Each structure stands twice: as C-alpha cells, then as structure tokens.
Amino acid sequence: MDSITQAALGASIAGAVAGKTLGRSVLLTGALLGTLPDLDVVIDYGSAVANFTQHRGFSHSLFILIPLSFLIAWGLWRWKPQLSYQRWLALVGLILVTHPLLDAFTTYGTQLFWPLGDPVALHSIFIIDPLYTLPLLAGCLALLIRPPATNAVTAGLVLSTLYLGWTLVAQQWITDRVQPALAEVGMKDASLLVQPMPFNTILWRVTAITDKHRIEIVTGFLDGSDELTLEHFPRRPELAQSVASLPEARRLEWFTRGFLDYRLAGNQITATDIRLGIPGAHPFTFILAETSESGVTPIPSGRMPRPSVNRDALPLLWSRLTGRTPVLCLATLSTPPQGHSC
C-alpha cells in the first residue's frame, strides 16, 4: 500500500496499544515503524529488473521482521521504560508484521517468506484506496485532538479490517461473474487475475492469459445483468521463448507469475508487467535483450519511461464506475489509444 496508508496503520496500532500511556507522541513512533519496511527502495540491486523484483523482499519477510521486532522493542523500552517491554513488543511486532500482510493484498507482490517461496499477491485492493485509509486517519485525528481516544482508534482499525475482508468477498463475486464468459471463448483454463480498478472496489479489471492470447474485462457491481465486454490482445510467444533462458526474464516470469507482455521495440526485446497499470499505460516495462542476425544478445536490464495516460482517463473511469458508461475499453485510457479488438 502507499506510504500514507502504512503510516496511518502503524500509528493506529500504536495508539490502540499504548495511547493511554504515551499519549499523542505514540502516533509518530507508530507511523515511523509503519514505513520502516519500505526503506528498501533506497537500495540499488544492480539492474532495473533486480530493483523491481527485490522490492518487498527481505525487508517484508516475516522471517526478518519478527526477530527484528524483539530488538527494536528492547531499544524503545530502554528509551521509554514507562511502557513495559511486553507492551513495546506487542506494539512493534504488530506494526511490522501487518505492514507486509497488508501489502500482500495488493497486486505488486510481497515476499512474506523470503528467502523461501514465491511472492504473495491476493490482488484484492488497489495500492491506494481511500475507504481503507480514511477510518485509520480519522482514529489518529481523534487521538491528536482528544487523547487517548482508544475507542476511536480501535473503531478505525476494525472498520479498515472489515473493508479488507470485503475486498476478498467482492473479488470472488467478480470472479464467479466472468468465468462463464471466459469459458464461452475457450479461456476456461486460462491464468486469471482479478483486481480492482484504481481507488475503489466497485469496478474491477479481469485479465485472462494463455500462451498466445490475452483478454481484458472491466466489470463492476453497478453493471447489473449487462453483457460483459471482452477486449482481445495478441501475445508474442516466440519473443518469450527467445529470452526464456535469460536469468532476468526468468526472474520476471517468477515475480509476475507469467503476466508479461513481450514486444520488439526496434531491435530490443522488452517485457511489460501487465498486472500493473492499464493496457497501453503499464508503468513497468524492461529492456532485456537485443536482436541481430547472429541471434539474441542479453543486455543489463533497463526500465523504459512510464507511458502517458490519456488526460480524459479519470473522467472516463468515473463515468464507468458510476454506471453512466456501460462499456470502457481499457486501451482508450492510454496516449495514444492502443488498437485492438473491443
């Protein structure tokens, strides 16, 4: 999730655990602890793909954060012994563990069990969602105005947690809705990704892929019984095969679970993470290799500039979200619009 949300979650937990003892100052401590795991963004791992796939790695691992909680709690207890070590440990442990757990509900991927296992991504909440964050901020504001405001802080945490549970229910409802339409076009066994569109859980984006084909669907809870609109995008399996042996290509395939779009830009082979952003405006595209008459030559990965988004994108999304527009072709949100079958 975004930094404001993680800081608000950390501050809320700190307020609930220690607000009566430490008052307003505990909010700052909680907010700083809540942003601590994301400091890995300052580390340069040596290439664009490495920086992309190792973010939310060791710094978000439960194997690292749980032992670290004991050390940080001891230091804070020595600093402010009016709160017992056990309470400090509860405060620090809950904040550090809930940070990666919340991130795991997003699409990016969180390596909860680094260095073991695969990234965890439940895809049920957008990285910025006001309905999750606002109850937390309201509880923190109440503590600032009239400490300790334990009931308000706790209520904020409960409401946000219930909303997080709702995202999973909504995701399953959308999944059940699109599966018959995908089966009709021969995509019953396709890899499927169901995630909310930006800033809400009313409108959802569904991506289904096979080796040669990809379908995108936008649908939501205000659509009623309207027929689903399927957008068709071709894939380039021959390009995927040409770089399949490259370590960075394999790393991207692992991190994205195969939700990649390979393209040829001049003589350069690129791979785009199609989970994030929208068709034509995906933020993460990497150059992996160059082609020539002698074959494919790997190069140190670089990240291509983020593409522009159509200035009319937000009004189009709002119109679709509120049900005024029954159909939204995702590729029309990019600049220039992407040509495909919709």
Give residue-wise pLDDT tens across range 195-243: 999 899 999 999 999 999 999 999 999 887 778 989 999 999 999 999 9
3-state secondary structure 177-219: HHHHHHHHCCCCCCEEEEEECCCCCCEEEEEEECCCEEEEEEE
* Closest of 304, 302, 258 to residue 281, by C-alpha: 304
Separation between Cα atoms, residue 171 and residue 189, nearest integer Å: 18
Whether 325 has a pLDDT exceeding 80, the answer reads no
Digit-coded pLDDT (tens) for 265-309: 999 999 999 999 887 789 999 999 999 888 899 998 999 988 776
**Per residue in 52-110, pLDDT tens?**
999 999 999 999 999 999 999 999 999 999 999 999 999 999 999 999 999 999 999 99
Rounded to a whole number, what is the distance in angstroms from the first to the last CA of the chain? 31
- Residue 244: the pLDDT is 94
Q: Where are the domains of the chain?
A: 3-168, 174-232, 236-303
DSSP 334: B
pTM for the model = 0.92
Evaluate the omega torsion of the peptide bond into residue 180 and state whether it is cis, within 30 degrees of 0: no
